[in-house]
Structure 1
Amino acid sequence: MRQIVLDTETTGLEVSQGHRIIEIGCVELENRQLTGRHFHRYINPERDIDAGAIEVHGITATFLADKPVFAAVAKDFVDFVDGAELIIHNAPFDIGFLDSELSRLDATALPLAKRCEVTDTLIMARSRHPGQRNSLDALCGRYGVDNSSRDLHGALLDAEILADVYLTMTGGQTALALGGTDDGSQGRARSSGLRRLPADRARLPVIQPSADELAAHEAQLDSIASAGVEPLWRHLSNSG
């Protein structure tokens, strides 16, 4: 099963006001394992960036001046995600911007939801943790995912962090992806903050209780039983 964890950064919050995408970051999972392949592009939006947006992601128009426009990266992006399940936090936001960019190039362009299955991790988190904060940072704290390098939002970094969160939240585990060079489209993902213990690790020793410890344990159970409550330990032992 191929999944793409995706995030974008934009010039502002409202696609209806003509705001554009300035960064796309994707990491690939195969059978719930990080493959090390990713897609990452900075994009010249051909418009100003809201000051509030710059405070969030730190990306300026000056930095993007020599970057390609969306039309130049659209085919590579579609080829990378086509047919995969997209994992996105607050999916309507990113999908709305991406569909808007694609329709600028071709009014008949197929929406991403027609090309890919879309899973929204924000909806998933709200279902699991109703009434709690479910931002990406909040989920990192809840699931023990390291986001210490996230001073500012960045599409690729956020996609990598979201991959860790998604795999943990859905009962999986991330695999260590080795570092490598970034050729702008495919490379090695960052090492995950989560680590799986090796299968051939030394087993923990089992220490048997002494006779005195067993006697003390039975005395404690007798004390509980004297209050008229059958100790759960004895109930389980008798049923086994």
Structure 2
Amino acid sequence: MINQLLWPFQNLPNSYVVVDTETTGLFDEQGAPGIASLGVASVRNGSVAETNEYHLRPHRPMTAEAFKVNGISNKQAQGYPFFSSQWPEIREWLDGQLVVIHNAEFDWPLIIDHVERYQVEPPSATGVFCSQRAAQPWAKAMRLKCSKRGPSLDTLTQALGVENLRMLNSGIHGAIIDARQTAAVIEAFRRL
């Protein structure tokens, strides 16, 4: 009966794109953080079909806290290409697709901020689905730890017995790792 709470996952289309970002920090009084890395994973018929990671030169310096999470140094990030030069290719991944994001209330406004900041053409995604919010009723029913946004990707990975891809990267977050991890969690939900 609890698995009826997974209806949003079970009714996702067979083709969607998972997106994740690694940033210079959080939104604050200075505005949006910079995106240093954006990962995309195209899912088709239950499997990750294609992936790519775009390293982007952020408009703000990396905070010490963000560096601890993603391992991207300021020196490294300053060597990355600008968002505007990579956006046309990134947009191709999103156009005409349902975009799935774990914590969409952070990543999607951040992406839109960058679209406006760099004055590039906005994506024409068919919609944005937040896997964190959608998983919250099931996670609470299963008595899993949840923040006000919902269960973390790590919590869901462990609860579902999905391979933890971050552990293959010494526990460091990465945009492509987290996009692939989100896809694995979603597909595990769809099989329940």
TM range (shorter): 0.7 to 0.9
Q: What is aligned with 1:158? A: 178
**How far apart are residue 138 of structure 1 and its match?**
0.7
> How far apart are the structure 2 equivalents of 1:46 and 1:117?
27
**How far apart are residue 79 of structure 1 and its match?**
1.1
Matched residues, percent identical?
Answer: 27
**How far apart are residue 118 of structure 1 and its match?**
1.2
> How far apart are the structure 2 equivalents of 1:163 and 1:46?
29
**How far apart are residue 47 of structure 1 and its match?**
2.5
**How far apart are residue 21 of structure 1 and its match?**
0.6
Q: What is aligned with 1:213? A: none
Judge conservation of contact 2:57–2:77 (CA < 8 Å) in 1.
yes
Q: What is aligned with 2:97? A: 84
**How far apart are residue 161 of structure 1 and its match?**
1.1
Question: What does the per-residue CA deviation read over 1:120-151, in whole Å, with 9 as the maximum and x for residues that have no partner?
Answer: 11112102111522111111110011113241
Q: Secondary structure at 1:149's aligned position in 2?
A: helix
Give the aligned residue type for 2:42: E
Correspondent of 1:142 among 146, 150, 159: 159
> How far apart are the structure 1 equivalents of 2:84 and 2:35?
11
Question: What does the per-residue CA deviation read over 1:24-81, in whole Å, with 9 as the maximum and x for residues that have no partner?
Answer: 001111232221x122111111331111111111111111222101011111111111
Higher relative contact order (CA 8 A, sep 6+): 2
Which has the higher Rg, Structure 1 or Structure 2? Answer: 1
Correspondent of 2:31 among 17, 20, 27: 17
Specify whether residues 18 and 119 from structure 1 end up closer, same or farther in structure 2 by C-alpha distance, changes over 3 A only: closer
User: 2:146 aligned with 1:127, yes or no?
Assistant: no
Correspondent of 2:66 among 53, 70, 81: 53
RMSD: 1.8
Gaps of 5+ in 2: 1-13, 146-150
Q: What is aligned with 1:2? A: 15
In terms of fraction of residues, the more helix-rich structure is 2
Give the aligned residue type for 2:58: P
Correspondent of 1:34 among 48, 61, 85: 48
Alignment length (residue pairs): 168
Q: Secondary structure at 2:61's aligned position in 1?
A: coil
> How far apart are the structure 1 equivalents of 2:126 and 2:65?
31
